[in-house]
A = this chain, B = another copy of it.
Amino acid sequence: MTGNAQTKPAAKQAKTAITPTRAENYAEWYLQIVRAADMAELSGVRGCMIIKPWGYGVWELMQRDLDRRFKETGHDNCYFPLFIPLSYFQKEAEHVEGFAKEMAIVTHHRLKIENGVLTPDGELEEPLIVRPTSETVIGTAMAKWIKSYRDLPMLLNQWANVVRWEMRPRLLLRTAEFLWQEGHTAHESKEDAMAETRRMHEVYRQFAEEVMALPVIAGEKPSYERFPGADNSFTIEAMMQDGRALQAGTSHYLGQNFAKSLNIQFQNREGALEYVHTTSWGLSTRMLGALVMTHGDDNGLRTPPRLAPWQVVIVPILRNDGDKGTVMAYCESLKAELQAQTYAGERIRVKLDARDISGADKRWEWIKKGAPLLLEVGPRDVEGGKVCVTRRDKLDEGKSFVPQGEFVLRIASELGAIQQSLFDQALALQKARTVTDIKTRAEFDAYFGKEADNMYNGGQGFVRGKWSGDPASIAMMETHGVSVRCIPLDQSGEEGTCILTGAPATQDVIFARAY
């Protein structure tokens, strides 16, 4: 939108909106953005968060887009109980071991009040686990519902809260309670179930890249990082601005493990009883944290247009009461014209911020939240038929003054350009900080062991190279806090030697520090 626009140089910013900056203290910068953008905050309840309006608004848009993709791929939404009896868990040993250390357990069903003192009362015969994930409870229902191959595939999804008792909570990224969707499906054969697992893995990849503007590496998890009870786990891994990896969505082929432990059988086409093959896949509010760590800058969040609750915010600038009538009328009409346009198949979401606080305060609030386009409209703009535009992703270019009609006509392409530019910047970072020339353990140790010398002193970056899978190599990585994030789907197939052990190895993997 710089076509025939006049551009006014940005005022020198004496300081940034977020203190500290990324370079000063990345971990603290993250917390400050989450707060400043009104995304979320920790509550008085240990490890549990409050998701605030801007954060929840982004999550609603994520839900709406994902839900459409799930329905288009044939899935039905359901809702299953929050509580899972202890005995359900007992059936799948590997699964229960994976979650035992972080389960909230309900043991009583009423309170006794005596002299104002409240104590738990009415002990349950069988304790109930607050679901950390729902394979066992949904599998138990499937065992009842599935009779024959005609009932397959069974393709279910639920939007729900889950609880995993985190000893070290981290806002949005790792909290005791979080929101997510969990898909659970049952199939006649391994082939069908694996096709589903890969289909949903690809749905996540497309969603992350197209909607969240989050470039990811799609791959399989090494066996030691699989979901407890899975035969294969697939992941999309994103690089944060400090070079660490963040697991952004996972899709699991569960084989017949849960089918056998929960007795989910069907009569096959030949009339014989057989166990189904199941899958599960999930994506959570953790992605809100990924959004901040990917698109945040030292002035706050830059919300990708596809996920911005308000894509355009109009701030009327009133110098005296006499201005009010004409400026507000101009703003209202601008809002109506913008709302009549569409971007990515939906009406443009426009907020006219008419609150009784200063224009400067509003400006900084929307910059911190990351509304993609901010329009400031004063009496002189009304006279000239213009709008004063700030593009959030190009704050350093300052404000430009664009004729109103031209701005309205170009709104969709402008939002598309911002969406693309956020993706391109994140991809450029991911490429710049993915190292492919490390071949030996010494080089590996030097890379991950050196003093942080790159931007936002954190995880260094991704090392892409050969790995033999030898269990002994795991301890070698762990001394640096590094893990194998995934075995990317695109493999060179070339033979080589394992970076860590020197043994022959063909598979390429991504090594990194992770959130």
Check if A48 is an interface residue, CB within 8 A of chain B.
yes
Q: How far is the CB of A465 from chain B (nearest CB, A)?
A: 37
Check if A56 is an interface residue, CB within 8 A of chain B.
yes
Task: A120 to B101: give the CA distance in the assembly, Å.
Answer: 10
Assess the B78–A56 pair: CB atoms within 8 A: yes
B-facing residues in A138-172 (Cβ within 8 Å): 140-141, 150, 156, 160-161, 163, 165
Task: A82 to B163: give the CA distance in the assembly, Å.
Answer: 9
Question: What are 17 residue pairs bridging A and B, where the CB atoms are less than 8 Å apart in the complex?
Answer: A43-B80, A43-B141, A44-B85, A45-B85, A50-B78, A50-B81, A56-B77, A59-B79, A82-B130, A82-B163, A82-B177, A89-B111, A103-B110, A104-B109, A106-B130, A110-B165, A161-B161
Pick from B52, B86, B96, B140: contact of A78, CB below 8 A: B52
Task: A48 to B50: give the CA distance in the assembly, Å.
Answer: 26
* Residues in B neighbouring A129, C-beta threshold 8 A: 111
* Residues in B neighbouring A357, C-beta threshold 8 A: 150
Check if A449 is an interface residue, CB within 8 A of chain B.
no
* Residues in B neighbouring A161, C-beta threshold 8 A: 82, 160-161
Number of chain copies forming the complex = 2
Check if A84 is an interface residue, CB within 8 A of chain B.
yes
Task: A33 to B141: give the CA distance in the assembly, Å.
Answer: 19
Check if A411 is an interface residue, CB within 8 A of chain B.
no
Assess the A50–B79 pair: CB atoms within 8 A: yes
* Residues in B neighbouring A128, C-beta threshold 8 A: 45, 104
B-facing residues in A94-137 (Cβ within 8 Å): 96-97, 100-113, 116, 118, 120, 127-130, 137
Check if A70 is an interface residue, CB within 8 A of chain B.
no
* Residues in B neighbouring A118, C-beta threshold 8 A: 86, 89-90, 96, 100
Pick from B53, B106, B163: contact of A104, CB below 8 A: B106
Check if A60 is an interface residue, CB within 8 A of chain B.
yes
Most chain B beta-carbon neighbours within 10 Å: one of A53, A81, A107, A128: A81
Tell me the nearest residue of chain B to A99, going by C-beta: B111
Check if A49 is an interface residue, CB within 8 A of chain B.
yes
Produce 1/0 per residue, A57-99, CB < 8 A to B.
1011000000000000000111111111110111000001100
Pick from B80, B81, B100: contact of A111, CB below 8 A: B100
Produce 1/0 per residue, A163-205, CB < 8 A to B.
1010000000000110100000000000000000000000000
Produce 1/0 per residue, A387-398, CB < 8 A to B.
000000000000
Task: A149 to B90: give the CA distance in the assembly, Å.
Answer: 54
Q: How far is the CB of A146 from chain B (nearest CB, A)?
A: 14
Check if A307 is an interface residue, CB within 8 A of chain B.
no
Given known A48-B83, A130-B106, contact A43–B137 (CB-CB < 8 A): yes
Assess the A53–B78 pair: CB atoms within 8 A: yes
Check if A248 is an interface residue, CB within 8 A of chain B.
no
Given known A76-B53, A86-B118, A90-B118, contact A81–B48 (CB-CB < 8 A): yes
Pick from B45, B84, B96: contact of A137, CB below 8 A: B45
* Residues in B neighbouring A77, C-beta threshold 8 A: 53, 56-57, 60
Given known A48-B83, A53-B77, contact A110–B120 (CB-CB < 8 A): no
Check if A34 is an interface residue, CB within 8 A of chain B.
no
* Residues in B neighbouring A45, C-beta threshold 8 A: 81, 83-85, 128, 137
Assess the A105–B108 pair: CB atoms within 8 A: yes
Produce 1/0 per residue, A458-492, CB < 8 A to B.
00000000000000000000000000000000000
